[in-house]
Homo-oligomer: A and B are copies of this chain.
């Protein structure tokens, strides 16, 4: 294998794939990036067997020459070192040559680097997927769906399926649900699909979605998605992102969403967020993060928190609308802040069914998001 490649192009592709390389590999090959040179260009792949990312650098893009291929071939090089050294090389061009026993030589300006390469035959094979059925979604919309739900996945491996986001797609209605049993975030969007195309109980790891979100440009061509029984593939421009789907049945959360409320509030999103943020600073001192919300007689609400050692924060807020029974409720301020930051509407609706029932938070401007936070059962 031998090629000459532009540093920028190589560096971009390495940054794209490197997150799939294992940082503490069980075997050295899983901490590597596979370089495959063919006449069309260079393909880089990294894989920790759960997720695999592949990026392609074509020989030419339009009129720009990215690489010159002297000899096809392949090798696996250690990701950690490659990620850092490439961007620091002195020249804009890098020559890569693989010799016997995968000994690899990188030359750039005054730098001459010899590396112990590994046998590409030992590198994990990418999942074989039937790409017959797929659908596409705008990158910006996919990022929004991820941002508004993935924060609510569980970080505990006790119930692995909850570390992922539940996906359902039916009649072009694409739905994300995430919950860690303390709060729930859901978001729907309309996408164009083939008639009859549908899936249910597909659970995509939160980590996968965060990485996908990082790779999707804010503007650009739509992301193509292929879903099979146990794998998902995202096609993001020249990048292919494969991830194993999570096993297990996702709990049915549809029944815990109430259809009516005993107390309803409409509030300014920014003001409520800021007030709870201040109360959070006090609640944090007690570790429990407990913040209280009380409806007052005069059409306002009061947000408060206290710490035995530090004191008390009290915030009074005008409600845009307040209806139903008076209420005193306590909740985890950190969870509520996460939820409020996912609301993309100037005003929001909060619905309650008493101090022991889930708190429902929704934007007022559209009906695509629904969030839930469980209250604390406190006395007084």
Q: Which B residue's beta carbon lies closest to that of A314?
A: B112
In this assembly, does A274 line the interface, its C-beta being within 8 Å of a C-beta of chain B? yes
Given known A274-B88, A309-B116, contact A81–B111 (CB-CB < 8 A) = no
In this assembly, does A275 line the interface, its C-beta being within 8 Å of a C-beta of chain B? yes
**Across the interface, do A281 and B85 meet the contact criterion of CB distance under 8 Å?**
yes
Given known A81-B285, A285-B81, contact A313–B111 (CB-CB < 8 A) = yes
Measured in the bound complex, the distance between the Cα atoms of B280 and A253 in whole Å is 53
In this assembly, does A78 line the interface, its C-beta being within 8 Å of a C-beta of chain B? yes
**Across the interface, do A113 and B78 meet the contact criterion of CB distance under 8 Å?**
no
Given contacts A111-B275, A114-B313, A114-B314, 11 further A-B contacts (CB under 8 A): A81-B282, A85-B281, A85-B313, A90-B274, A110-B315, A111-B315, A112-B313, A112-B314, A113-B312, A113-B314, A116-B311
In this assembly, does A89 line the interface, its C-beta being within 8 Å of a C-beta of chain B? yes
User: Which listed residue, B111, B274, B275, B277, touches A278 by the CB 8 Å rule?
Assistant: B111
**Across the interface, do A112 and B315 meet the contact criterion of CB distance under 8 Å?**
yes
Given known A310-B78, A310-B115, contact A88–B281 (CB-CB < 8 A) = yes
Interface string of A76-116 (1 = CB under 8 A from B): 00100100110011100000000000001000001111111
Measured in the bound complex, the distance between the Cα atoms of B312 and A359 in whole Å is 60
**Across the interface, do A110 and B316 meet the contact criterion of CB distance under 8 Å?**
yes
